[in-house]
């Protein structure tokens, strides 16, 4: 962020003294493994070779398809779930040095018959870089998260044979935003999508997120809705940086409109990385204005691919929203 955008706004604490909970597009700060405790009936596969589909669990031997090409394994999570990460291991048997080096995933929501490929911002299929040996756990961040009941994994490249164990990391702990009393809260669902939008009261929407955490130097958000003006005149989004007297100081975020959505980038200082921070969102506009989703990239692990050294310690960390 350059000096021209490094401005601050002073807001008296009365804005946050009178707050009520709002079930809006809340943000995830805690995750748990979804596959390890699934029942055998929740697993399916295109084929198996001397194993059951449930052998894909991290504690099992490994799933191996009968054919090397065009194979897939599927998990039914029983309900739509917000998923932020995918983890793979190779074959457990030391006599068979098999592991998958890259794969892609598709997902399907409850009530839908359409399988959606996980894609990047340009619409291109995401191919995850997976394992380089059979023992290590390799985590891949799912940028933007997915919201689904069914998830399929398709091996793309492999060493020896496409054998692997698999885990998905699903959201179990959310932070709800708060607003001032003049705000009319909607009943939108937690997660990446909302069935109901937040309606403006007195041509204004104001939300305050407390205790967000990210390991990155930036917090990126995407806002969508009706009649939202994505500019620094109508929209104020900032991260709390300190206090001067009785006023809270916020460092302002950058924003740009793209594809009928508002893309926001908020820079964090060194003291805020991996520590809880507060974010303020205020929108002024038309009386018919609505805010439908606030998607934030705040995964409690490094973006992209990373190797997990201590699996049990990692699970404890992400369940408490601490940063590894």
Question: Where residue 116 sits, what CATH number does that domain have?
Answer: 2.60.120.260
Same domain, yes or no: 188 and 237: yes
For residues 146-175, average pLDDT: 93
For residues 179-195, average pLDDT: 43
Same domain, yes or no: 111 and 41: yes
Residue 274, domain CATH: 2.60.120
What is the residue-averaged pLDDT of the chain?
81
Same domain, yes or no: 57 and 139: yes
Same domain, yes or no: 85 and 17: no
List 250's β-bridge partners, or say none.
9, 240
Same domain, yes or no: 136 and 230: no
Q: Note whether residue 315 is domain-resident.
A: no
Same domain, yes or no: 163 and 70: yes
Domain end position, chosen among 173, 202, 224: 173
Residue 13 confidence (pLDDT) above 60: no
Same domain, yes or no: 99 and 193: no
Same domain, yes or no: 194 and 253: yes
Same domain, yes or no: 181 and 168: no
Report the range of poorest mean pLDDT among 83-87, 128-132, 172-176: 172-176
Residue 192 confidence (pLDDT) above 70: no
pLDDT, position 176: 65
Same domain, yes or no: 208 and 256: yes
Task: Give the span between the Cα atoms of 170 and 28, in whole angstroms.
Answer: 9
- pLDDT-based confidence at 320, cuts 50/70/90? low
Closest CA to 35 of 52, 13, 58, 17: 58
Q: Note whether residue 186 is domain-resident.
A: yes
- The tokens describing 112, both together, are 């839908």
Residue 127 confidence (pLDDT) above 60: yes
What is the total count of domains within the chain? 2
Higher pLDDT, 45 or 316: 45
Q: Note whether residue 48 is domain-resident.
A: yes
Residue 210 confidence (pLDDT) above 90: no
Higher pLDDT, 114 or 171: 114
Same domain, yes or no: 140 and 213: no
Report the range of poorest mean pLDDT among 98-112, 125-139, 142-156, 216-230: 216-230
Q: Note whether residue 160 is domain-resident.
A: yes
Higher pLDDT, 105 or 244: 105
Same domain, yes or no: 146 and 193: no
Domain that holds residue 213: 3-26+176-297
What does the angle CA 81 – CA 84 – CA 87 come to, to the nearest 5 degrees? 110
Q: Note whether residue 305 is domain-resident.
A: no
């Amino acid at each position: 962020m350059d000096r021209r955008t490094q401005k601050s706004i002073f807001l008296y604490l009365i804005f946050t003294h009178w707050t009520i909970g709002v079930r809006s597009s809340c943000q995830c700060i805690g995750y748990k493994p979804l596959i390890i405790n699934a029942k055998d009936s929740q697993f399916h596969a295109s084929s198996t070779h001397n194993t059951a589909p449930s052998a894909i669990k991290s504690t099992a031997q490994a799933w191996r398809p009968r054919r090397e090409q065009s194979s897939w394994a599927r998990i039914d999570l029983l309900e739509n779930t917000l998923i932020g990460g995918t983890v793979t291991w190779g074959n457990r048997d030391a006599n068979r040095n098999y592991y998958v080096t890259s794969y892609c995933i598709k997902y399907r929501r409850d009530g839908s018959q359409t399988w959606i490929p996980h894609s990047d911002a340009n619409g291109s299929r995401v191919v995850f870089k997976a394992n380089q040996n059979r023992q290590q756990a390799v985590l891949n961040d799912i940028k933007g998260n997915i919201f689904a009941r069914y998830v399929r994994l398709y091996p793309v490249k492999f060493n020896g044979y496409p054998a692997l164990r698999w885990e998905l990391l699903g959201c179990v702990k959310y932070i709800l935003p708060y607003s001032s009393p003049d705000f009319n809260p909607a009943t939108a669902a937690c997660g990446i999508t909302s069935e109901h939008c937040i309606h403006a009261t007195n041509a204004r929407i104001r939300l305050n997120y407390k205790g967000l955490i990210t390991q990155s130097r930036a917090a990126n958000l995407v806002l969508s809705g009706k009649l939202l003006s994505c500019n620094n005149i109508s929209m104020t989004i900032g991260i709390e940086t300190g206090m001067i007297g009785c006023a809270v100081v916020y460092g302002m975020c950058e924003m740009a409109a793209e594809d009928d959505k508002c893309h926001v980038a908020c820079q964090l200082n060194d003291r805020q990385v991996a520590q809880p921070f507060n974010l303020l969102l205020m929108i002024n506009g038309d009386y018919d204005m609505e805010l439908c989703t606030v998607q934030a990239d705040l995964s409690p692990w490094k973006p992209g691919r990373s190797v997990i050294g201590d699996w049990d310690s990692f699970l404890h960390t992400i369940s408490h929203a601490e940063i590894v």
